[in-house]
Every structure is written in structure tokens, then in C-alpha cells.
Structure 1
């Protein structure tokens, strides 16, 4: 019996085309709630950047790719990047090469600078642009995630600098850098433990590379039709795209609603 459903946001709950949640998905979420099934967010976004869910209500939030989880006012779990990795990255960008980077703290986000690539991604995601501040102001601050605009070719070298971190890339133009051991998989485990729900009684929906660990781990992992093939192969079921009522159809197919 399914008691919990986790949803990625971008490309899963929210369309890249309209930047909105389809009406069929809104109806599906309402049906889940009426059946007493808990609904959760599992996203790479910071809570302050979740600007595209309207009035929808959720029982808990797995944010920052599992690095910061909360339900209501209760912080369930948090895992930050080691200070030495943040310092190493700052030194690298000061002496070797610089790239746009968003530093995600507990309560806010800011960037060192932005360029056309950043503008392109923020427009695609309808993402609220963080303020620009000098990079050295992050020294001594606790950072939970880096939204780093470097390519896959640059990644191998830069991740050697961030030796206690992992890259969770889901777009060729940028990656979410998280502390080693963070993932949506860990986040849903923490949330399920808090609500005392067994893993085999949860379903997870996603479409990106940072959803793979969650899809593979959940009782039932559902990949959206707009996901890449290397994501779909980790899912138990592949539904239609977000723009083709994929969530509603999958929940119906699985006899959950």
C-alpha cells in the first residue's frame, strides 16, 4: 500500500514549456491527499527558489538534492559542504579560472557573477535570480550546495578541487555540487524515517540525472516521458511527459488514485 509520493519539480511537476503545474497534476495531488497519502517535494532547489508551485501544499520538502530536509518548521536533516572545499574552490577561481557559481546557504543564495549561460538557464527554469556579491564574502560561511556553471569537460579537474563533494549534473551547462553522500535517496530516507513510512510504501517521480538515485531506491520509481534514456533505465515505470499528463496517468496506471 502506497503511503508517500515524492516529486521532483522541474520537468516533473512543472513544465519547462509553461513553467506551470498541469491541471491534471493538481487534481492528482488532491486525490492523493484525500486518500491520506502524504506528498513530498524532492528537488535540487533551495526552498527560497521554489516559486512555481502556486498554492500547492506538501507534507515535507527534500531540498538541495537531499542536503536540507524539513517538514513544517522542523528541520529533519542537513548536510553541508566542508569549509575546506569551499575555500579550495575560492582559491581555484581566484588563481586558475573563474566561472559563474551560486553559493547556497541555509537561508539564502548569492552568485559571484552571471553571464549569458546563467541567463539562459534561469529563463528556462523560471528561476529567481540570486543577488551578486563578491565571492570572498562566502569565506567562513556554511554552504550546502553550489550551482556551478562549468561544462562536463571542465568537471573532472574542478571536482578534484572539491574532493569531498559530488557533482549531480542534469544539464550540460551546469551542475549541482553537493557534499559527498548527499542525494535525493538520502533525503527520502530521512523523510520516511521521520514519518515512519517503510521504503517499499513510497513512490518517486523524476526526470533528471539528479533523480536517478531516488528512482532506483524508492519502492516504485517513475521516470517522466521527457527524461533522458539514461534516467529512464533506472525507473520501474516510464510515464508520459509532464506536458502530457504523465503524473496523473502514472498514478492511475499504478492504481494509486
Structure 2
């Protein structure tokens, strides 16, 4: 059988509503691994968030695509690719957030901190992800910032940040938006994994707005049953909901297991 790089979003894909990966999903991933396929997590989360989620204690991954494709680590935790934000862009994010009363956090490979005093929207967001909120810290231009987050009431459109040239604003399902470099998405990081593993084909699973390009570019793009319409429209197959073992159902449909 030809070997694929299997790439999984976390929230709403690996993690159902109770944030506990089902036994059947874990067994399916292990069967894929036994057949020689590579297993990759592809997420907007940073390393700290993934570690705090407990995911790495449940599933063995061959690589982590983090920060919506701007950072890639191998199974030893070594950086095999990272794209950092220019300092002037980081300063502009901080300035625009400060002017508009928005709290923002900055992410390096190994650290994650809020520039302003964390507020209720920070707490609500990280309660949503079932993780500890980032600590408060101070930006130094020597820091290698990979990505940022902005926190505002759910439904806020983040227009002031959308007006920053070169910045991509991806609004999440809670009180936050991911702030990354324009032109970057998860599949950019996945391409680095394909080079690293010397593979050419991918099977990608996702459900949210930051999964659209990953699903679009995949050899086989699979939308979870509860996915937003934009993901379903570009997918090759719509599987069952995450809560109904959608990963298992899709792998059985394509006879990968």
C-alpha cells in the first residue's frame, strides 16, 4: 500500500465535545501507524497549548504542524521549520490592540504570553480549550514570534487588525482570533512534513475555517460531519461528526483500515 501522511486537526476532529479521544479513534490511528503511514497533528495551537491539552500523552505523532503552519516539529521536538513575524509587524499588532482595547498574546516556540493584563475574554478562550491561559509578559524585539492571538467578545469582527498589511486574521469559535502571516496556512507546514518524510500524498481531516486550505490542498481532504460549509465545499468526503467517530468512519470508507 502506498504510504500517506495523515494530518489531523485537534479541536472538533481528534477532540470531540468532551475533549476525550475515543478508543476507536485511537485504535484507528495506531492501525494507520502499523501500516507505515505517518501521523501528523495540524493545528492553530502552539506547542504549549498542545502540551497542556494532554494530546501528546494519548497519541504518538511523527510531526507537529503548529501555529497554522508557521512552525513544524519532528517527533523529537526539534524545529524542522519556522516562519517568524517581522518585529515591525509585531509592534503594529501590539499598537492596534492597545488602541482598540484588545488584549493580545504572542507566541514563540517555547513561550506564550499576554502583552496586556489578561481579561475575561482571555479566560473564556482558554477555558474553551481547557487549558491554562498564557502568563503576562513583555515583548522584546529580539524574541522570535511565530504567531499572535487577539481576544475580544464573541462575534467581534476584528476590523482594526484586518487592516494591518501582511496579517491574516482567522476568527475562532470562542473569544479570539489567530493572527498569522498572510499567505500561510496549515498545508504550508504539511508540505515541510512531506519533504521531511519523503512522501507525496496526504489525507487531511478538519472542520474549521483554518482547515479550509489544508482540506483543499490534500490528496484526500475529509471534512468532519459538523464542519462549517466552507470546509465541506472543498472536501473530497464528508464523514460523520467528531462525536460519532468520524475519523474511523472515513478510514473505513477509504479502506485504509
Q: TM-score, normalised by structure 2?
A: 0.91
Q: Deviations over 1:14-66 (max 9, x none)?
A: 12x21111111101111101111111110111112112313310001100100
Partner of 1:243: 243
Paired residue for 2:206?
206
Question: Which sections of structure 1, spanning at least 5 residues, go unmatched?
Answer: none
**Alignment size in residue pairs:** 250
Q: 2: CA distance between counterparts of 1:7 and 1:167?
A: 22
* Contact persistence 2:8–2:14 (CA under 8 A): yes
The answer to whether 1:126 aligns with 2:126 is no
Shift of 1:2: 4.4
Query: Which residue is 2:87 aligned to?
Result: 83
- Secondary structure, counterpart of 1:233 in structure 2: helix
| Residue-by-residue CA offset, 1:188-231 (whole Å, 9 max, x unaligned) | 11110111101xx2100011100100000010000111211222
- Is 2:100 aligned against 1:97? yes
Partner residue, 1:116 = 120
Q: Which residue in the other structure is 2:13 paired with?
A: 12
Query: Hey, what does 1:144 align to over in structure 2?
Result: 146
Aligned to 2:163: 160
SS at match of 1:171: coil
1:173 matches 2:188: no
Whole-angstrom CA distance in 2 between matches of 1:93 and 1:240? 39
TM-score normalised per structure 1: 0.91
**Counterpart of 2:47?**
47
CA–CA separation in structure 1 for the residues paired with 2:130 and 2:205? 21
2:97 and 2:150 in contact (8 A); partners too: no
Q: Is the 8 A contact 2:3 2:199 kept in 1?
A: no
Q: How has the CA–CA distance of structure 1 residues 93 and 48 changed in structure 2, closer, same or farther, with 3 Å as cutoff? A: closer
Local SS of the residue matching 2:163: helix
Determine the C-alpha separation between the residues in 2 that align with 1:241 and 1:116: 30
- The runs of 5 or more residues in structure 2 that have no matched partner are none
CA distance in 2: counterparts of 1:29 and 1:76, whole angstroms: 23
CA distance in 1, matches of 2:247, 2:156: 34
Aligned-pair Cα RMSD in Å: 1.7
CA contact (8 A) 1:184 1:210 kept: yes
Q: Any idea what SS the aligned residue of 2:18 has?
A: coil
